[in-house]
A and B are shown apart, each in its own frame.
Chain A
Amino acid sequence: MVPNPLALIAEVTHRCPLHCVYCSNPLQLAGTTGELATEDWIRVFQQAGKLAMLHAHFTGGEPLARQDLTELIGAARSAGLYTNLITSGIGLAEERLQALVSAGLDHIQLSFQDSREASANWIAGAKAHAHKIEIARAIRGHKVAFTVNLVVHRQNLDHLEEMIAFIEQLQPERMEIAHTQYYGWALANRAALLPTRAQVEKAVEVVAAAEKRLAGRIRIDSVVPDYYAKYPKACMGGWGQRLMLIDPAGKALPCHAAGVIPGLEFENVRERTLGWIWQESDSFRRFRGEEWMPEPCRSCDRRSEDFGGCRCQALLLTGDATATDPACTLAPVHYIVEAALLEANSGAAVSQPTSAASFSQLRQQTTTLWSYRTNPE
């Protein structure tokens, strides 16, 4: 028996009012009509509680796009799970916030795209920044833990100090500075998002200084840029080791982007229990442990630390999900990442934010730079 998973990632919908260019959702988004019903999700949380899972992370898309979110949070909390809402804040106002907290919401993670309004709205493809600030203030009026998340990349990294100071005055307990992960829309927009080495090195210094300054007041968690790392990230703590993701249509995935891997059939929570899927399904067993590993992973001292990196990234960059993650400097195909870095370090400077009267105009004006995330049918 494999030890039970620690946390459930509940991707409750792919609908989202924002169009962030760094979104890691798949390009093929799940449509509204196929979304799990309220009672399906409630059953999932009950099963997760019985497996002694600890956390339920509500994400999407924008979880608030589900009208039954308060009920879902309440069900997860009743099942004994720690409830974490990962949100843009769009769709949240005082009354709904109060209802979510009363239902047992433990923690809210609110995203910001930038400290500068024009740039934030340009990255999100929506006029969202001012509302987010209002919501951040409202959250502080409630007894709920608060994290501000900021995704960083080429277009905003140059003023990271300013962004940290901006987050500081929103008074969260925690801030997450997350370098963009290149999946889905972010991968499609990589040329506009991948930072230079100088930007990354400066960011490390800025974050270290902020950690020291804010110690005991605001905890900083960082997500490192794996393209610039020596070794790959331990994606999801290992395939089928710690985490289980349920997508809006009920498919159980071992990793956010696993749906792109050809030849893998993913079980659906409509037909199977979480316990069965975790223990028995081919998809969760496929890359669990070390049997599947190619060289150099198979004989590498680090194989039990980073598990050969991310299977989805291996597929997206090499076409082969069983390859060593190309982010690893030991990977035979590391040149793929090196080529992207070479381009990033010789490319044009940061772009100027664009604004437009409508989203469709904004899309037209920025076609040479990036594609905005669109909504599912």
Chain B
Amino acid sequence: MTILDTNPVRLRELDELFGNQVTTVMSNPVSIHENVIDSDLVIGAVLIPGAKAPRLVRESTVQLMKAHSVIVDVAIDQGGIFETVDRVSTHDDPTYTKHDVVHYAVGNMPGAVPRTSTIGLSNVTIPYAAQIANDLEKALLHNVNLRKGLNTYRGQITYEAVATAHGSKYEPFAAV
């Protein structure tokens, strides 16, 4: 198995984590092309928070993959990283074929395993929920992590990227 990433520090960590089980490769247009064309399975795993996924794999590269290879684009919720992924598929009809390559681009993949996902999500959200319910203002004042989560408050947009997206005024949280 080969993992590509643009961050040399992360590549070093992955090398330490997986040892000889994986080959780590610096990601660039050349290394992506070379590795994708002779893979049986390619997994797209580039997610940039709050941004559209970069289109890293060209259609001309997918054309050179062997027939009946498989692409799984996990970045589909942000638009996907393969040029050949042009629509979101569903758990009921999960794949489509292009250039003889099977494309799996299901939106909201965790929805297929709701029990695992519900427990995993609840594990991390409940401690924050308890802080919010104990005292909202105090939690927002003292917990920087939680304050980053505040998007609207008292009729104001308190998250910059959301205000920018809608051409509205950004008002950072201030306790009243």
Q: Are A and B physically bound partners?
A: no
